[in-house]
Structure 1
Amino acid sequence: MRLTTLLLALGLLWPVGPPPPEILRGWQPPAGPYGPGHRGVDLAAAPDAPVLAAAAGTVSFAGPVGGRGVLTLTLPGTGTPPLRTTFSPVIPLVTAGTRVTAGTPVARVAPSTHCPRTCLHWGLLRGDTYVNPMHLTRRAPSRLLPTGG
Structure 2
Amino acid sequence: MITPSAVLVAVLSAAPPLPSPAGWPLEPPFSVVRGFDPPARDWLAGHRGVDLLAGAPGGAPGGAVLAGAEGIVTFAGPVFTRGVVTISHGAYRTTYEPVLPLVRPGARVVAGQRIGTLAAGPSHCAPATCLHWGLRHGAAYLDPLGLPAPPPIILLPLGP
Q: What corresponds to 1:119 in structure 2?
A: 130
Deviations 1:46-103 (A, max 9, x none): 1011111111100000011121100000013xxxxx1000000000001000001111
Q: 1:106 to 1:3 in 2, by over 3 A?
A: farther
Q: What corresponds to 1:35 in structure 2?
A: 44
* DSSP-derived class of the 2:146 partner: helix
Cα shift at 1:4: 8.4
Where do 4+ consecutive residues of structure 1 move more than 6 Å? none
Q: What corresponds to 2:97 in structure 1?
A: 88
Q: What corresponds to 1:102 in structure 2?
A: 111
In structure 1, runs of 5+ residues without a counterpart are 77-81, 141-149
Q: Which moved more, 1:129-138 or 1:56-65?
A: 129-138
Q: Percent identity?
A: 46
TM-score of the pair, normalised by structure 1: 0.82
Cα shift at 1:113: 2.3
Structure-to-structure mapping, 1:1-149, within 5 angstroms: 2=13, 6-7=17-18, 10-18=20-28, 21-45=30-54, 46-76=60-90, 82-114=91-123, 115-116=125-126, 117-139=128-150
* DSSP-derived class of the 2:17 partner: helix
CA contact (8 A) 1:89 1:109 kept: yes
TM-score of the pair, normalised by structure 2: 0.77
Q: 1:119 to 1:105 in 2, by over 3 A?
A: same
In our comparison, the structure showing a higher alpha carbon Rg is 2
| RMSD (Å) for aligned C-alpha atoms | 2.0
Cα shift at 1:17: 1.7
Q: What count of residue pairs does the alignment treat as equivalent?
A: 133
* DSSP-derived class of the 1:34 partner: coil
> What is the distance in 2 between the residues matched to 1:11 and 1:34?
32
Cα shift at 1:112: 1.9
